[in-house]
Structure 1
């Protein structure tokens, strides 16, 4: 998961109000319950020291959200009397969260926004393709490509002229497949998608797949269900898309943990993986984190670190933070501080299921794969 969408949260000093709220409902009873829940969130923020203007902004933002806007819940981040970011969740929070803290409370968002990869679905026929981006939000139009529409149909005759015509048809198919593959590669890059699913005509689908750049082809799957024609949507197609997204996440986690196991060594030799808050703080300060690994509710998540206004100003002790150039460091949770650093330095974040084997996951629940090999200091 990339956290670039969180960048607006790191341009301001805080402190921050963070609220994770469940989905809105249509009926009157649920609406009353929601009103009471909003009141409780606001009282919690007030008790923790939030200013009146920020509490009011949070209240207005939560009250304005309707059932159609909020099928799975929402997180709101506010400071200085303004809601800076309001983001839909992929699944409802198990419990309501409201807190006032030096940094935005990001870790629950990483879990609840889901590691749902962005999936670019290509609906293909022999004349072109329509592209649709599937993510946490509603499907979005991602463009289309229209190739030649004549000739595209073969005949059954063995006559020489008909065979010549058939060859022209196949050339048209191949040319269209080339154009679709080129447009699909461009749409993949522009949309920021993580994987591609090809649906539609079997022959053209296969031809497009063969012509994709290797980097796109590696993350492309095909489904036998669905197509470009209106009304060709089907439950089997939806199941295939969801299965592809889940498998993509599973592979990414498996690959990351395999690399983590290989790089997780003692201090006697170079490594490209670290675990534990002290090593992670050092890696974050030096912008070395490539992928931050988080196990939900890991014990290290709650550890205290000291942070300054910049993402690389973090330390284990207050005096260390002052030495980094921050005159008034503040105390923060380790997971929030590391996630801020990951977001600002364009590091990826992966949530590792807690049911993984204990030897496979980072000690304390926090680890990282590094951008370059780290040579431990001599003991």
Structure 2
């Protein structure tokens, strides 16, 4: 999971204000309900000491609709100077969350990041296509879908059955279909190279879909999924089609998660390239070795909820004691305590690592936490021999 969009929070001045809210607006009544939810949350934050200027800016953000249809949520995180993160969520929270304090509440934002699937929707007919760039789950509210149309330029697309010209007209029509599809494919190849989407969804006229699919380059083909039921223009059963698109996005999320967990399990099997257990994960985060932080679904809300870590001004300066920060050369007046979940995610962000949530039973995670490593050496914590962490729980018999 890519967390680069959370980087604006690094190094920003405290205090932080985090708001996680249901912003569903199905109708005028829903708009009023969303406004009332914000007013109630604002009163809570005012009592906690949040500044009026910051709350006014957050309120202005919530007053602008996300453009997302159906039930959904929104997470906004501000520092002492203003809003730094604003994200729509595909699932609304069961209860509003409002936190004002020395650190942001990162869990809602990280959950949003896991949901994000950037995709190109390509709706084709025999004349051309409409390309819509969008984000499934976690779109930036201020950025709605971006659409462009591609016209092939060959408009002789209708076959005729009249007289001796029928064969010739059919050939001309089929040639126009092919050339138009090639024009669409050329634009699609460029857009995929420029935008690097996670998925390309191809829908529309059955014959045109096949021609475009065959004309795109190999890289685009690896990202491409055909989803029936869409069309360029009117006549689409929108609810049914959107349900199919949601299924395609869910498949991407599942494949992405499984790819990381497969790497984790493979590393455990060969005794290298991964670590697990709280102390060992802290060690490799401190050394900048982590490619992907792996957490059980419930870890941040339960397993780490009551734990704290000492941190310095830099994201990789963290430890369980002041002695750990002594060894890193962090001055006493530059130290502070943070909730363990915040400190771990901060360190992951600081080394451009991703975060993946694992369902219970999908990976062996001591303390509900593990990491896939970029590199390792002889001093890297290992599951096969005791290390300086002295955590015997991670030792296991490999059959």
Alignment partner of 1:42 is 2:42: no
1:145 positional shift: 2.2
Using structure 2 for the length normalisation, give the TM-score: 0.79
Q: Distance in 2 between matches of 1:239 and 1:78?
A: 34
Q: Distance in 2 between matches of 1:19 and 1:361?
A: 33
Q: Distance in 1 between matches of 2:193 and 2:313?
A: 33
Tell whether the 8 Å contact from 2:18 to 2:78 is kept in structure 1 after alignment.
yes
1:81 positional shift: 4.2
Equivalent residue number for residue 395 of structure 2: none
Equivalent residue number for residue 131 of structure 2: 131
Tell whether the 8 Å contact from 2:87 to 2:112 is kept in structure 1 after alignment.
no
Query: How many residues were matched structurally?
Result: 364
Equivalent residue number for residue 342 of structure 1: 348
Equivalent residue number for residue 363 of structure 1: 366
Tell whether the 8 Å contact from 1:24 to 1:66 is kept in structure 2 after alignment.
no
Paired residue for 2:65, among 64, 68, 91? 68
Tell whether the 8 Å contact from 2:23 to 2:34 is kept in structure 1 after alignment.
no
Report the RMSD for the aligned CA atoms in angstroms: 3.1
Equivalent residue number for residue 397 of structure 2: none
Equivalent residue number for residue 20 of structure 1: 20
Q: Distance in 2 between matches of 1:86 and 1:114?
A: 15
- CA distance 1:218–1:94, shift in 2 (3 Å): same
Tell whether the 8 Å contact from 1:290 to 1:368 is kept in structure 2 after alignment.
yes
Q: Distance in 2 between matches of 1:239 and 1:59?
A: 36
Equivalent residue number for residue 49 of structure 1: none
- CA distance 1:365–1:142, shift in 2 (3 Å): farther
Tell whether the 8 Å contact from 2:127 to 2:157 is kept in structure 1 after alignment.
yes
Equivalent residue number for residue 294 of structure 1: 295
1:227 positional shift: 1.0
Paired residue for 2:159, among 136, 151, 154? 154
Structure-to-structure mapping, 1:1-379, within 5 angstroms: 1-23=1-23, 27=29, 34-43=38-47, 45-46=48-49, 54-64=50-60, 65-66=62-63, 68-69=65-66, 72-112=72-112, 115-135=115-135, 136=137, 137=139, 140-156=145-161, 159=164, 163-232=167-236, 234-265=238-269, 270-298=271-299, 299-302=302-305, 303-327=307-331, 328-353=334-359, 356-357=360-361, 360-372=363-375, 376=380, 379=386
1:275 positional shift: 2.1
1:130 positional shift: 0.9
Equivalent residue number for residue 51 of structure 1: none
Tell whether the 8 Å contact from 1:294 to 1:366 is kept in structure 2 after alignment.
yes
Q: Distance in 2 between matches of 1:322 and 1:143?
A: 56
- CA distance 1:98–1:212, shift in 2 (3 Å): same
Q: Secondary structure at the match of 2:273?
A: strand
Q: Distance in 1 between matches of 2:119 and 2:145?
A: 11
Q: Distance in 2 between matches of 1:104 and 1:30?
A: 23
- CA distance 1:192–1:276, shift in 2 (3 Å): farther
* Unaligned ranges ≥5, structure 2: 387-399
1:286 positional shift: 3.5
Q: Distance in 1 between matches of 2:356 and 2:149?
A: 32
Q: Secondary structure at the match of 1:185?
A: helix
Tell whether the 8 Å contact from 2:287 to 2:316 is kept in structure 1 after alignment.
yes
Q: Distance in 2 between matches of 1:74 and 1:9?
A: 17
Tell whether the 8 Å contact from 1:124 to 1:227 is kept in structure 2 after alignment.
yes
Q: Secondary structure at the match of 1:150?
A: coil
* Unaligned ranges ≥5, structure 1: 47-53
Equivalent residue number for residue 392 of structure 2: none
Q: Pick which of 195-204 and 61-70 moved more.
A: 61-70
Q: Distance in 2 between matches of 1:286 and 1:181?
A: 45
